[in-house]
Amino acid sequence: MKKIVYLILILIVACKSKTQSKQGSNFVGNGDANSSISDFKLHDEDNFKDVRKSFNFLGESFLGTKKTVFINNMFYSASILPKEYYIKKHLKKTDSLDTYLKKLKKEEVIQFDFQYFKGDDLFKDKSAEEVEELVKYLSFNIKNDFYAITQKGDTIHTSGVLFERTFKVTPYKRLLLYFKFPQEQEKMKLVYYGKVFDNQIVKFLLEK
């Protein structure tokens, strides 16, 4: 009987070790900015969810793709915003839609969300001074924590960032990341070096 229990324990430990190794290989890399987009493989679909998402504004719906990674009790989600949705929601209507689409042909806006898995506010246990520093970082310096890799292997850094403050109305914190590319992109790799809520390297293969 003791031998059977011992064998069962060995099997449990081996399975757990294999699962942890498998999960870690997806999201924590060596930060090689020159790696080709074709080298970015997915090995564990359970931790990498792709969903077709509707972005809605004033009764109109625009389809995009939302990708979510769950790592160390945090959800990280990224979506390339549909151009027409972004233009209608965020830009002043000084030009026609066609004019804006031409101007933004080589640019992309990525919506990036952080959320604690229990749904708690990420600023919940922070002092007023800590919250102020976090808001400043999310509004400015965090843009240096992201870069994109094109299909040709070019590394593109963010040209700007917008922190959308919701004042505890939502459980997540949201950024809009702005990128300018040499040519129009259908897919890209987004890399995030987490320095705010957890020190992780998170990667997404994004497609329109």
Query: Which residue ranges make up each domain of the chain?
Result: 2-207
Sign of the Cα torsion 184, 69, 144, 109 reads: positive
CA 200 – CA 145 distance, rounded (Å):
11
> Residues, the chain, total?
208
Contact (CB, 8 A) for 206 and 188: yes
Q: Is 25 helix (H, G, I), strand (E, B) or coil?
A: helix
CA 149 – CA 155 distance, rounded (Å):
5
Contact (CB, 8 A) for 47 and 28: no
pTM of the model: 0.76
Contact (CB, 8 A) for 114 and 123: no
- pLDDT, tens digit only, all 208 positions of the chain: 544 444 444 344 344 433 433 333 232 333 333 444 444 443 344 445 678 899 999 999 999 999 998 888 888 999 999 999 999 999 988 899 999 999 999 999 999 999 888 878 888 888 999 999 999 999 999 999 999 999 999 999 999 999 998 877 788 899 999 999 999 999 999 999 988 876 678 999 999 8
CA 90 – CA 166 distance, rounded (Å):
16
